Amino acid sequence: MSGTAVLAMAYGTPAGPEDLEAYYTHIRRGRPPTPELLAELRGRYEAIGGHSPLLELTRAQVTGLERALADEGHPDLRVVLGMKHAPPFIEDAVAELAARGSRRILGLVLAPHYSKLSVGEYAERASAAAAAVPGTPDVSVVRSWHLAAGYLDFLSQAVSDALRALPAEACARAHVLFTAHSLPTRILDESDPYPTQLRETAAAVAARTGLERWSVSRSSPSSLRCFINASFRPRRSRRHYLSLEGFSTQVRCEAWKFSLLAAIQDLPYAQTPVLFYP
């Protein structure tokens, strides 16, 4: 086995309904949710069939990354998944790689936009885990990849395909809505690059596809307040509808798969028909 390995990191999601309470407790830093909060979360999962496809999608990304590395001449590079709030945890993945002889770990968070509260925390946990295992492998983490050519190509193609699928009249009046998960408003006071990087991604895709009508919006967890107030649906009175008056169709481009649960549930709140891509 190569002395270098890749640690793919993701937020995590429950593998099944029986894991919901443990998952929510971990998100709450060890504080079990109240019966009301747990029931709310359970209801949100039941609304999409009781199970989020996020775990399967994440595993497929890890497999695809390992295959792509092999195709590029690195067949010995092992890619292991470590998640923030669900098994396999980041710490477990680092311990596994160290036990297999990895002395250098390249961390890649499967979220392209950097924030101290997201990618920064993944990097801290990976480094702390490496310091706690025999051999203390060196850890370096990709800070962001929001303008990576392949990522922009993927989103641009998805938007173009969505627009081509529309009737000519609807396409002429369509508005492309780039969405991603929101973060607490305090990041604005800390000069966190996350909001800027979101808009940079959207602007780059808009330029590549010749968009004239587009905007950026964010989805926030329903149980949390004080998030950047640009959410797609009004889960609380402080939120507001994104009303795109004059447009008959919205094409929604989700820029961060972590918000998949929120994205699926946001669709009924749109005031115009929505095509959800990718």
Last residue of a domain, one of 125, 141, 157: 141
37 band by pLDDT with thresholds 50, 70 and 90 = very high
First-to-final CA distance of the chain:
35
The answer to which of 149-158, 171-180, 204-213 has the lowest mean pLDDT is 171-180
Which residue in 2, 212, 250, 206 sits closest to 105, CA to CA?
A: 2
Domain shared by 128 and 160, yes or no: no
Tell whether omega for the bond before 88 is within 30 degrees of 0, i.e. cis: yes
Identify whether the C-beta of residue 258 lies closer than 8 Å to the C-beta of residue 183: no
Q: What is the mean pLDDT of the chain?
A: 82
Q: Is residue 136 part of a domain?
A: yes
pLDDT, tens digit, for every residue of 90-146? 999 999 999 999 999 999 999 999 999 999 999 999 999 999 999 999 999 999 999
pLDDT of 267 strictly over 70: no
Q: Is residue 188 part of a domain?
A: yes
Domain shared by 226 and 107, yes or no: no
Percent of the chain at pLDDT above 90?
60
Other C-beta atoms closer than 10 Å to the C-beta of 5 total 24
Residue bearing the bigger pLDDT, 243 or 50: 50
Total of domains in the chain:
2
Q: What is the pTM of this model?
A: 0.82
Domain shared by 172 and 215, yes or no: yes
Q: Is residue 32 part of a domain?
A: no
Q: Which CATH number does the domain housing residue 217 bear?
A: 3.40.50.1400
Last residue of a domain, one of 116, 141, 166: 141
Percent of the chain at pLDDT above 70?
78
Last residue of a domain, one of 97, 122, 141: 141
Structural domain including 9 reads: 4-16+51-141
Other C-beta atoms closer than 10 Å to the C-beta of 9 total 27
Domain shared by 159 and 266, yes or no: yes
Average pLDDT score over residue span 33-42: 94
pLDDT, tens digit, for every residue of 221-237? 543 444 444 443 433 33
Domain shared by 153 and 271, yes or no: yes
In sequence order, the β-bridge partners of residue 140 are 106
Domain shared by 164 and 194, yes or no: yes
Q: Is residue 24 part of a domain?
A: no
Q: Is residue 27 part of a domain?
A: no
